Amino acid sequence: MIKIALVGQPNSGKSTIFNSIAGYKVRTGNFPGVTVKYTETVVRIGNNKAKVIDLPGIYSFYTNEPAEIVTKEFILDQDIDVILNVVDSSVLSRSLELTVELTEFGIPMVIALNMTDEANRKGLEIDEKTLSEIFGVPVVKTVGNKGIGVKELFEMALKDRRIPKELKYDKDVEFAIEDIKKIVKDTSGFSKRLFAIMILQNDAKYLSKIRKEVYERCRNIKKEVELQHGKPIEYVISSERHKLAMSIFEKVTKIKRVKKELFKDKIDRAILNPYTGYPLILLTFIFMFLFAFYVGNFLSSIIVNPIESMLSFEIPGIYGEVIKGIVDGIIGGVGIVIPYLIPLLAFLGFLEDVGYMSRVAYLLDNIFHKMGVHGKFAGPMILGYGCTVPAIMATRIIENPWERIKGAILIPMIPCSARSVIILALVGSLFGVKAVLIYYAANLLVIFFVGMALAKTLNYPVEGLLMEIPELRIPRVTVIFKKTYLYLKDFLTLAWPIIIFGSAVFSLIEYLNITDIMDRALSPFTVHVLGLPAVLGAVIIFGILRKELALFMIYTALGVAINQGANGILNILGLKGVLAFVLFITFYIPCMSTIVVLLREFGAKVTLISIFAGISVGTLLAVLVRLLPI
Amino acid sequence: MRLSDVQEGSIVKVVAVYGGKGILMKLSSMGIRPGDKLKIVSKLYGGPLIVEHTIHGCSIAIGRGMASKIEVVKQ
């Protein structure tokens, strides 16, 4: 089967093209660097089948970032039949540098001039025939998000596979390439030119393939070039590609007069202006919470409550209890997913697709720096309000491993939908919407202080922000819909089964009546540290299995009838008790699903640190509340 | 002067990038090289800025730390 690899710069629309041919399998977003691992799928193109691989977006192959290495190794080791180079036409001059670099691989190529509509709007007219002649490969104009040209593109990749023309660099670089070609005998199956270029730009993998004396001679050749240009060799070569790309760009484009400022440019200015930008962020998030509060409660009352009452049944015996637990878990999952998670994820997906999230990342960069992380952190953190599991996965967009570890510690402290259910049910129904907003603000403040404390302890140099700001776009409803589903999948496949399992375990323990033992074991902590009744011990333990389970359990544990509502709880625990309980439940430990995803993404050590940090912060806050003079 | 000292709205030409090969390569892979002209489209107090490349047309957010390593002249 023919293997087609999609390669292109971040945000060039690779994933959109992939989705348009493969159905919806890759997460796309108007946020640079969304694809962190590659995805492959088999698709039918006409009467043929082909394997299509979506690789991470990369600007080049020479900065040695993980995504670049993954892509390079994949292309060179996996016998790719054709590279489908997706080019963002609206930034053609820069994108062509990668195209030039790709020609060095000597693998058949097809160029997709994507986002041609955007380029036209910018006044760029591209002559694809000339471009095709220069590279010696087919060029197809596409508009990925509308599906224009995508079919032709893949048909071309199947029927017209040509190896691109060998582009020549400046004389002294070509001499150096020739010199290396002469002294390197064994190129382990790679073309001599590619091998020589890789050696020349100090590619670690290729350098390790040559013998020591060859290595020394190559080093002298490189030194000479560096002396002539007064720049590092890697930069000299990349400048050559740049020069070539610019001259090709000039040959194939006509720049028309650009129209006056568009409406979206005005919006963009308002978003980026600090005086309007920060209030806008605040409004957006207040809107997000109110949206979750009203829409969530409404949906909950019309969908989830009827299901719950329909499915309440009693089966005697231990198996009956387990079945009841499983059904509870399933309903519980639905109770979070439909009313709270879906609206929130859809809203976030919308913000990301518009291009707003990258602007938020820019605006918040200063504040995030105080926590020793940079602005890109904003995305995963906000996702954390939906579900911690996809939020932890989303930290993959952060390159620095230390920063990711901070994510592992801080993100579980953000109240996810399940915890929001508790906050809304207790704080919300007792003290109103305002109190909920204050609670969320205070929660953020605590996370900020924990982050600052972490910045002091995990003291490493913070990588500066360097991030492309994509054009604002009007997203397509279907795309947002599908994207929501993809985020949701993390929840459905990972969190939900654990919730169901947790419910079954909970039913069983309740049936066996061993909650007393847990209450007693935990009572020194529950009573003396948190200042809560001992009967909440088991509630706290079960909160780990399913955070929102704690809400249902607190009624049973305290002997309050559910129809008495939150006031019944308030009567027993008092104001401080309710606050201490909610705070502790919000912070103390990530739920079971989060622990699983943390283990998978970070390993045991970081997971333990994250759990420890959560318990400490939760305890500290509960104790502080006890000491409050109210 | 350094990019971090430039005001919003101005157009500058990149003269040099300090701070090692890594930063130079990273910036050039994203399209910013010595000799290029940049327009500062947004700048936040004491922090990052967004530059628009006058030829490529791409906008890139650059943190303060990194901006202070980019030597520029006003155009």
| Residue A220 to residue A224: CA distance in whole angstroms | 6
Query: What CATH number is associated with residue A241?
Result: 1.10.287.1770
- The residue with tokens 């009352």 is A301
Q: What is the ipTM of this complex?
A: 0.95
Interface check A238 vs B, CB under 8 A: yes
The structural domain count of chain A equals 3
The mean pLDDT values, 10 residues at a time, for chain A of 630 residues are 92 86 63 60 85 89 82 86 95 95 94 92 91 96 89 92 93 92 82 90 85 88 91 92 95 81 86 94 88 80 77 74 82 79 86 90 90 86 87 83 89 90 87 89 94 85 82 84 80 82 82 84 89 87 80 80 81 89 88 88 93 94 87
| Residue B16 to residue B13: CA distance in whole angstroms | 9
* A154 and A176 co-located in one domain: no
* A555 and A598 co-located in one domain: yes
* A110 and A244 co-located in one domain: no
| Residue A310 to residue B28: CA distance in whole angstroms | 62
* A410 and A539 co-located in one domain: yes
Interface check A233 vs B, CB under 8 A: no
Query: Does A598 map to a domain?
Result: yes
What's residue A125's pLDDT?
A: 92
What's residue A312's pLDDT?
A: 66
Interface check A369 vs B, CB under 8 A: yes
Query: Does A166 map to a domain?
Result: no
The tokens for A356 are 């707003």
User: Nearest chain B Cα to A10, which residue?
Assistant: B30
Domain finish residue from A203, A224, A255: A255
What's residue A31's pLDDT?
A: 53
What's residue A506's pLDDT?
A: 79
What's residue A32's pLDDT?
A: 52
> Considering chain B, what percentage of its residues have pLDDT values greater than 70?
100
Mark yes or no for CB contact B60/A93 under 8 Å.
Answer: no
**Beta strand pairing call for A109-114 and A139-141:** parallel
Residue A144's closest CA among A30, A264, A258, A268? A30
Residue from the list B44, B58, B60 with its beta carbon closest to the beta carbon of A274: B44
Query: Does A90 map to a domain?
Result: yes
Query: Does A464 map to a domain?
Result: yes
Query: Is the CB of residue A393 less than 8 Å from the CB of residue A370?
Result: no
Query: Does A469 map to a domain?
Result: yes
Cβ pairs bridging A and B (under 8 Å):
106
Query: Does A261 map to a domain?
Result: no
> Is 0.95 topped by the overall pTM?
no
User: Nearest chain A Cα to B42, which residue?
Assistant: A272
What's residue A442's pLDDT?
A: 93
* A393 and A249 co-located in one domain: no
Query: Is the CB of residue A454 less than 8 Å from the CB of residue A406?
Result: yes
* A317 and A427 co-located in one domain: yes
Mark yes or no for CB contact A94/B63 under 8 Å.
Answer: no
What is the per-residue pLDDT across B12-43, written as a single tens digit (0 to 9) for each?
A: 999 999 988 888 999 999 999 999 999 999 99
Domain B3-74: state its class: mainly beta
The phi and psi torsions of A476 (rounded to 5 degrees) equal -95, 140
Mark yes or no for CB contact B48/A242 under 8 Å.
Answer: no
Distances (CA, A) of A533 to A356, A557, A621: 46, 10, 17
Residue from the list B24, B55, B65 with its beta carbon closest to the beta carbon of A464: B65
Q: Which residues does chain A have within 8 Å of residue B32's beta carbon, measured at their own beta carbons? A: none
Segments forming the whole domain that contains residue A51: 2-159
| A114 known ligand binder | yes
Query: What CATH number is associated with residue A92?
Result: 3.40.50.300
User: Nearest chain A Cα to B46, which residue?
Assistant: A366
User: Nearest chain B Cα to A60, which residue?
Assistant: B29
Query: Does A135 map to a domain?
Result: yes
Mark yes or no for CB contact B61/A274 under 8 Å.
Answer: no
Mark yes or no for CB contact B30/A468 under 8 Å.
Answer: yes
What's residue A552's pLDDT?
A: 75
